[in-house]
Each structure stands twice: as C-alpha cells, then as structure tokens.
Structure 1
Amino acid sequence: MRMNRRVLGLGALVTAFAAAAHAGEGGDAADAALFTANNVWMMVSTFLVFMMHLGFASVESGLTRAKNTVNILFKNTAIISIGLLTYTVIGFNLMYPGESWFWNGVLGCSGLGLVMPANGLGVEYAGGGYTYWTDFLFQGMFAATAATIVSGAVAERIRLGPFMIFSILYVMFVYPAVGSWKWGGGWLAERGFHDFAGSTLVHSVGGWAALAGIMLLGPRAGKYVNGQVKPIMGHNMPLLTIGVFLLWLGWFGFNGGSVLSGNPGEVSYVLVTTSLAAAAGIAGAIGCSWTVQHKPDVSMVLNGCLAGLVGITAGADVVGVLPAILIGLACGVVAVLSVIGIDHLHLDDPVGATTVHLVCGVLGTLFAGAFAHGHTTTAMGTELGYTISFGTQFLGVISYAVVCFPMAWLIFYGLKKTVGIRVSLEEELKGLDIGEHAMDAYGGFQIFSTM
C-alpha cells in the first residue's frame, strides 16, 4: 500500500481501528458501509476544495481593477488545469513516494503517471478512508491552490505566458517535493512536525513564491509616487465578499477533508475550530482596522476572515476552542498591520496574498506548536497522545522558507532574463484584458481610468 497519505491522520487511524475490530466477527458489511461513508465525505470535501477556486477568482477580481478582470479569470481557470495535469504526470508520486525515497526523506518519487495499486478501491487502501482515485483528486485540488496564491499577488502587471510557465514548474516540482517532507512521510514527519491541512505546506509555499514574484516584478505603475503610497482600489467589493464566503465554505472541505475519513467526532471538531478562527479573524480585523485606519475597511475585514482560516489550518485538529479563537484574533489583527507594513516596504501585493497566506501561514504553524493540547479523545472514546514541539514547528517553517523562496526566485528570475515577466507600461495602463486577451469583462461599459 502507498504509505503515509498525510501520514494517514487521526481520523483514518480511528477508522482503521474500527475495521480491525470488525474483522473476523462478521463485520464485512459494516466495514463496507464505513468505507463508503468515509469515501463519500472525502469526495464532498474534494468538491468543496474545488469550489474554492471560484472563491479565489472572485476575491482577486474584486480587489483589482475592472480592466484586468478577464486576465484574473483566465489565470484562475488555467491554474486548475495546470495543477491537475502536473499532479497526474509526476506531482502525486513526488509528494507521496511511499518507499521510493532516494535521499533520506528529502526527495523521492514512486514513478510517473497514475497507476492504481491492487488494493486501491478497497478498505485495505489508506486505512479504509477512501479510494486511490479520491486520494489523487483531493490532493490534486490542493496542488492547484498553491499556484492560485501567486496569481493574486502578481496581478495587474505580469505577462500571462511567463506566469503559466512559472505555475507549471512550481506546481509540478517544488510544491510536491517539499510537501513530501511532511505529508509523504519524509524527514519532517519523522521529527514530529505538524501541519494538519497546510498552513505551511500549501499556504506558505504559495506565499513564498508570491513574495519572490512581487519583488522581481516591481510595483504597479502609480502605486508609489514620491515615496508615498497611493491606494489603488479594487473595483468590486460585492464580488470580493462573495469570494470570501465561497472560500470559507470551501474551507470546510479543505480542513474537514484533511481528517482523511468521515469520522464524525474528528470532522465536527475540526469544523468548529475552523469556523471559530474565521469568526475571530473578522473580529480582530474589525477592531484593528477601526483603530488604525479610523474607519472600518471591509477589504481588510474580509482578509481578516481569510487570515483566521489560514492560521487555524495547521492546528485545527489539535488546538482547543479558546486557542482557536485566539489564533483567529491574532491573525485578524496581523492581517491589517501586515498589509499596511508590506505596503510601506513598497512591496505591491494587490490582494494581500503575502499577508494572508505567508505571514498567517507561518503564524498558524507556530501557533499549532504553542497551543496543541497534547492529547485528544475520539468519538469512539479512544485517547491518542501526541507531542508537538514548538522548536520542530519553527524548524519546519524555516526549512520551507529556505527552499521555496529561492526556488521561486530562480524560476521568476530566469523567466525575467529570458522572455521577460512584465507587460509594457502602455499595456498596463490600458489593462491586461485588452493587451493580453483582446476583450473586456464588462461588455457595453467603457473603462476610462488609466490608473
């Protein structure tokens, strides 16, 4: 059996215990029913994570200008294709090499393409949690998410072709290779690093790439004038709001599905901590925005919601109710302060992706080490212990930083020096919809603004 899908996870272990209890006691029918229920939940979670891409497209479109909407929508559509196809070719096997390691838990690969194992459709696969095909599709949706994070950060001035080349290379090789360190049972998994659903493995991996991209691209024209920050407002706050609520809904699958089974106790608990962190993120952003900016900024508050969700993602299964609220509050406050701080560093991030996904992804991973309970009781009454070291969490954060940022930088830098990564000033002022796609998003409306 392919080993360590998310190193199985608590819910899947409980499922395996249940299956073992039934074995030899006329439990075949019960095993089959449990397997079906688990797999259905995992497929529903896959659907929810897929819908998050519509949320990302809406958030990015809402926070940018109308003249770049088609470009945003095109990139978010292409990213799903890139994520699934590259994951099929090699990404899945890089991320989950099983026993096929050739560098001490740092890098491995179990082959090319999808080859279903003999037990891939039965309860013997992945502890009875799901089939091989569900496994692939659920994880493939996560792969596409990493590139989506970059899309918003580099919006409104990156050339489409180089962006797609970057996405292919980063998602095909970097994301799955570093993901194997934890979820594939690699060296960080062996040291006890904990990242339940991807505060680091998905969000900061995308965030480090986003940071490299905005540094090499430079700011949008007119963003920083005579040393002063000039706000460039997004064109559609209703679309932004719809996108954030779609993402919150999708996060029920992102985190809830990461239990890796339909175990009711584990899934329901994860959904509670996830929702409380999101709610607290909103509260923290409201308080901070109102205090610092003197008026409550809806874009900051909505980003505060996403910050809370990213922050809880690493430890949603191991932190208590009060810590989940505290994590959300902290990330909501940081969401406001970090966006302002990054702007004053003249790092132009139109959607706040580096704040939400990188800064809060790092914080969430560290918070998992600071607030984890040390034990939990499952819905079946089974108490399972674990140890999460803050030092190990810090090691994991640093390890991803020293690999992901340089790799993203090298890819972007290589593209910049060869084919170029930034559109011309004329194209930027007219809008990428016309320059890159020869169309506009809102037919019948003329967009007169050049900034």
Structure 2
Amino acid sequence: MDEIFYLNSVWTMIAAILVIFMIGGFILLEAGSTRMKNAGHITGKTIFTVGLTFLVFWAVGYGFIFGGNANFFVGMTDFFYSGAESGDSGLSDTVFFVFQSAFAAIAVCIALGGFAERAKFPVYVVFTILFSAVIYPVVAHWIWGGGWLAGHEKQDFAGSTVVHLTGAMAALAATILLKPRIGKFNKDGSSNNIAGHNQVYTSLAVLILWVGWFGFNAGSTTSVDGAFFGFVALNTNLAAAMGAVAALAISWIVLGKSDIVTTLNGALAGLVAITASCAFVEPWAAVVIGLVAGLLVFFSVKFFDKMKIDDPIFALSVHGAAGVWGTLSTGFFATPELAEQVTGQAGLFYGGGFGQLGVQALGVVTSGLFAFVASFVILFVMKKMMNGLRVSEEEEVMGLDMSEHGNYGYPEEFMSSEKQTKLTS
C-alpha cells in the first residue's frame, strides 16, 4: 500500500468525524427550534436513534448499498460487515464504511424531524430501524451503490437526493400521519407561530453544520489526489453564504424585518442545494445555486404552512425543497470538464441539452416517491399496530421530557415554576 492510500484514508476519516459531529448540530437545531418542555427528549432520542442507526447500518444497511451480487434494487453481500480490507480501493474499506455510516445517521436525523414534539418514543425506535434498513439503503444503492440510477449517470456527489430528499420525504409522511401539534392551526385555517425556545442554540447549530458540511461535501472526494476537495469546499462555502444573504434579503423585503430563523434556514438550504452539485459546477454557479435556495426556502416554509403541514424544524423546506433544487441544478450548471471528471454529462447551460437535466428529474421523482410511499406505508402500519403514533393530548401539553422520560431537560426552570405554583395556590 502506497502513501496515497494512507493519506486518502486519513482525510476520509477526518471527514467522517466532521459528519458525525454534525449530529451535535442537529441536536441543537431541533432542540432550539422547539419548546423547552421537549428539549431533553430531543437530545436523548437523537443520541439513541443515531446509535441504533449505526448498528442497523453495520448489520444490513451497508450491504444493501454497496454489497456484491447486486441487482438494480439492492446489494446482496457484506451484511454484518466484518471490517476486512480488500486492498483494491484507494483507501481503507473500514474508513469508507465509517464515513458512509455517518451519512445514514444524518438522513435519520432529518427524517425524525417530522416527528418532533408529538411522537411516542417507541415510534422513533421502530421507524429508525426500518428507515435505516429498507428505505435509505435502497435510494443510496440506486445512486451511489451501482443501482439503476447510477447506470443512468445521475449526479448526486454528496447526497442532496440520497440523504436530504430521502430524509425529508420520510419527515413529510410522518408529519401528515401525526397531524399538527396542538395549537399550531386555528379553525379558520390560519396558523400560529410556535416559536423555538432558543435562537442561540439554532444559530450555533447552523455554524456546527456549516463546518461539518466540509466533511460532508469535500470529504466525499475520499481522496487527496489533486486537492480537488478544496474546490468542492469552495463551492460549498459560497453556496451557504449566498443562501444566508438571500434568505435575509427576501425576509426583509417581504416581512419588513430581517428574520433570524429565515436567515439560518437560508444558510442550511444553500448547503443542502450545493451538496449534489459541488463537484460539477463553477464557483459562480455555486453562488447562483445558493441564491435560489435561500429564496426558495422562504417561500417553501410559507407554502407548507398554508397547506396546514406542521414542520417544526423546517425539514421539508430546508432538506426537501432545497434538495430538489440542488439535484436539478447540476442539470443546468454542470460543466463538461467537471462532469467528465466525476460522472454524467454537461448541463443545459453548457451545451449538454436536456439529457442530464432529465436524469436528475427522474432521480428526484423516483427517489422522493419511493422514500415517501415506503415511509407512509411503514408508519401507517405502525399506527395500527402500536395503538397510534402520537402521545396523548395531556402528555403533549405536559411535554415529552416528563411524559416520555420522567425528567426535565431544564429541571431548575420547571421545578422552580412548579414550586412557585404550589406556594401561590
């Protein structure tokens, strides 16, 4: 094994650590975007479900994605991954396994955002197992594991479709079946803003995710050869920056104020959008992709609100709408040189015609539809077999910290309030 093998392995391992650290960003994002009475529940269930995801990925997920004897649907070997090194790739197989397991965990974090503040804890457990075993791996195999979309040269460098759209479609199925949180919508159809309890958490979350995304996107090169990861990182950074600026600008124009939540969502939308195209487009195109993502996420949030779909952490807009745009963007902006270097054809604006754009659209429709239908069916069956997906009204009002776990995430805050109530009653 030569020096480049070890350098590639070290770089990919560092990237894997960055992606796993993004889970901390998701913890702060979801906890900060929801109410204080559910903060402990969110942090605990995230750590538990991520751990569960890693185990399922080891047992079956990796094999379904990258296993041998593959068909157009899934792979059929490498279950209960042994850690054996094949010696025929440019980096350590075990490092690659760890890197890919981190992506599966991120997809789960996105999907479970649709359950926030109202799902029973056992529902998280069962759905995490099934999503990690039979939903995420199928889409990942189609695109990254040599499946049928890979055969059509679908471009998704780091997962706008595989990770973000798949997770968002699962979140959509969940929030439809769970129905809105108590107090979210009025009888006349108007909505109430259920504000998150801590914008410091959500802002810090976005920064953590932004930094982690360099592992997500640049790390997907899995190679130090030619330092191409630097180019991918440049595009990633530009799209995130433009997404934040565009979102702030549109909120200021429409609302008359520069909305903080919209700005944060814009940065994340820019990151999600550039994830598919970061290796295929020039830096100026990355800025345009981030610009459109920042504008899109603002209007997408309002659209889902009007449709009476309660999306507490904006997963459908940040990961869904921006994931669709990011996937399609390669069909517009992919350059011939970069597309040839990675996979697929040039985009429409570079003389490639509608071929690659059509492949991208096909990938969005089929992957998104599969993830949504499979998630909906699984959750519907779970609802019937588990006596409902949702906690009782009393438990929801009380908060999931106490009703599901018997402890407050902020014990001093709530216990002092209870003590004060007793003294004044």
TM-score (norm. length: structure 2): 0.92
Query: Helix, strand or coil for the counterpart of 1:417?
Result: helix
Query: Helix, strand or coil for the counterpart of 2:338?
Result: strand
Quickly say closer, same or farther: Cα 1:87–1:429, change in 2 above 3 A: same
Identity across aligned pairs (percent)?
A: 38
Structure 1 residue 441: deviation in Å?
A: 1.1
Q: Which residue of 2 aligns with 1:290?
A: 252
Query: Helix, strand or coil for the counterpart of 2:413?
Result: coil
Choose which of 216, 220, 241 in structure 1 pairs with 2:181.
Answer: 220
Q: State the one-letter code of the partner of 1:60.
A: E
Q: Which residue of 2 aligns with 1:373?
A: 335
In terms of fraction of residues, the more helix-rich structure is 2
Say if 1:197 and 1:255, in contact at 8 Å, map to a contact too.
yes
Quickly say closer, same or farther: Cα 1:367–1:427, change in 2 above 3 A: same
Q: Which residue of 1 aligns with 2:219?
A: 257
Does 1:403 pair with 2:365?
Answer: no
Q: Could you list the runs of 5+ residues in structure 2 that have no partner in the other structure?
A: 347-355, 419-425
Q: State the one-letter code of the partner of 1:202.
A: V
Q: State the one-letter code of the partner of 1:387.
A: Q
Choose which of 427, 442, 447 in structure 1 pairs with 2:395.
Answer: 427
Query: Helix, strand or coil for the counterpart of 1:318?
Result: coil
Q: State the one-letter code of the partner of 1:62.
A: G
Hey, what's the Cα distance between the residues in 2 that align with 1:207 and 1:109?
27
Counting only pairs closer than 5 Å after superposition, residues 139-288 of structure 1 correspond to structure 2 as: 139-226=100-187, 227-288=189-250
TM-score (norm. length: structure 1): 0.87
Hey, what's the Cα distance between the residues in 2 that align with 1:189 and 1:398?
15
Choose which of 266, 270, 276 in structure 2 pairs with 1:308.
Answer: 270
Q: State the one-letter code of the partner of 2:391.
A: V
Q: Which residue of 2 aligns with 1:20?
A: none
Say if 2:60 and 2:79, in contact at 8 Å, map to a contact too.
yes
Hey, what's the Cα distance between the residues in 2 that align with 1:111 and 1:55?
31
Q: State the one-letter code of the partner of 2:360.
A: Q
Q: Which runs of 4+ in 1 moved over 6 A?
A: 382-385
Structure 1 residue 358: deviation in Å?
A: 0.9
Q: State the one-letter code of the partner of 1:189.
A: A
Q: Which residue of 2 aligns with 1:79?
A: 49
Quickly say closer, same or farther: Cα 1:222–1:115, change in 2 above 3 A: same
Structure 1 residue 173: deviation in Å?
A: 1.5
Does 1:438 pair with 2:396?
Answer: no
Query: Helix, strand or coil for the counterpart of 1:335?
Result: helix
Query: Helix, strand or coil for the counterpart of 1:229?
Result: coil
Query: Helix, strand or coil for the counterpart of 1:423?
Result: coil
Say if 1:79 and 1:167, in contact at 8 Å, map to a contact too.
yes
Choose which of 368, 373, 380 in structure 2 pairs with 1:413.
Answer: 380
Q: Which residue of 1 aligns with 2:303?
A: 341
Q: Could you list the runs of 5+ residues in structure 1 that have no partner in the other structure?
A: 1-30
**1:257-306 deviation line (CA, Å, top 9, x unaligned):** 10121234310000000000000000110111111222111111101100
Quickly say closer, same or farther: Cα 1:384–1:157, change in 2 above 3 A: closer
Q: Which residue of 2 aligns with 1:25?
A: none
Q: Which residue of 1 aligns with 2:279?
A: 317
Query: Helix, strand or coil for the counterpart of 1:434?
Result: helix
Quickly say closer, same or farther: Cα 1:175–1:375, change in 2 above 3 A: same
Structure 1 residue 346: deviation in Å?
A: 0.6
Say if 1:83 and 1:141, in contact at 8 Å, map to a contact too.
no
